Amino acid sequence: MAERSGVSQEIGENLLSYQQRLFRWWHQVREGTMSTEQFQLAVTFLRRGFKQELETAAALPIENKEKSPLAHTIRSCRQILKLETALWTFVEQIGLEPTNNAAEQALRPAVIWRRTSFGSQSEAGSQFVARLLTVVTSLKAQNRDVWDFLSSVCRAVRFDLPFPSLIPIELQPP
């Protein structure tokens, strides 16, 4: 939005200023220079202004099939408003990151594999790759050995034993 011209740019720059302030505070919380309570209080006021900015933009009139940059901005603001409460979940849930960096990092090996191998040529191949990458990513996140797990799976198939679980050991039922 901020890269568009006219009113769209103004709306985008206003929203960006809220975002920059929010992340500046978030980094201060992570560094320990701002308490969680101070952060939550500050975000309460910031959130009101951010929502007001979205509502003001969403209220601007546009035609149904209008395709101008301003129409795209207005429709984006309307969509964001529908999800507005979810944007702030990380403020109340201590330890929850406000970015999708972890998800992007988890997907990176799959993206690299697809680029270097040209993907798979069948639905079964795609399913195999998806399942294996899920296993590898899950085990790495739990600091569990992938080779040990896959060896256990092979032994389970060969000797008709119970399959090992991908569920973290501390979360498995007794």
pLDDT in tens, the chain (174 residues): 889 989 999 999 999 999 999 999 999 998 999 999 999 999 999 999 999 999 999 999 988 888 999 999 999 999 999 999 988 988 888 777 788 777 787 778 778 877 888 777 888 988 888 888 889 888 988 899 999 999 999 999 999 999 998 888 777 676
- Which of 92, 109, 133 corresponds to the end of one domain? 92
* Relative orientation angle of helices 69-82 and 6-31, to the nearest 10 degrees: 40
Asked whether residue 62 falls in the same domain as residue 16, the answer is yes
Residue range(s) defining the domain that contains residue 21: 6-92
In this predicted structure, what is the pLDDT of residue 174? Answer: 67
Q: Which of 91, 61, 74 is nearest to 1 (CA)?
A: 74
Asked whether residue 15 falls in the same domain as residue 85, the answer is yes
Amino acid at 86: A
In this predicted structure, what is the pLDDT of residue 47? Answer: 94
- Which of 42, 69, 92 corresponds to the end of one domain? 92
User: Which structure tokens are listed for 41?
Assistant: 């209080």
- Which of 39, 72, 92 corresponds to the end of one domain? 92
Q: Is residue 27 assigned to a domain? A: yes
- H/E segment holding residue 103: helix 101-117
Cα separation of 32 and 23, whole Å? Answer: 14
Q: Is residue 1 assigned to a domain? A: no
Cα separation of 162 and 174, whole Å? Answer: 15
In this predicted structure, what is the pLDDT of residue 117? Answer: 82
Cα separation of 17 and 15, whole Å? Answer: 5
DSSP state at residue 60? S
The tally of domains found in the chain comes to: 2
Spell out the residues 6+ positions from residue 159 whose beta carbon is closer than 8 angstroms to its own. none
Task: Say how many C-beta atoms besides its own lie within 10 A of residue 43's C-beta.
Answer: 19
User: Which structure tokens are listed for 171?
Assistant: 């979360």
In this predicted structure, what is the pLDDT of residue 138? Answer: 87
DSSP state at residue 88? G
Asked whether residue 129 falls in the same domain as residue 162, the answer is yes
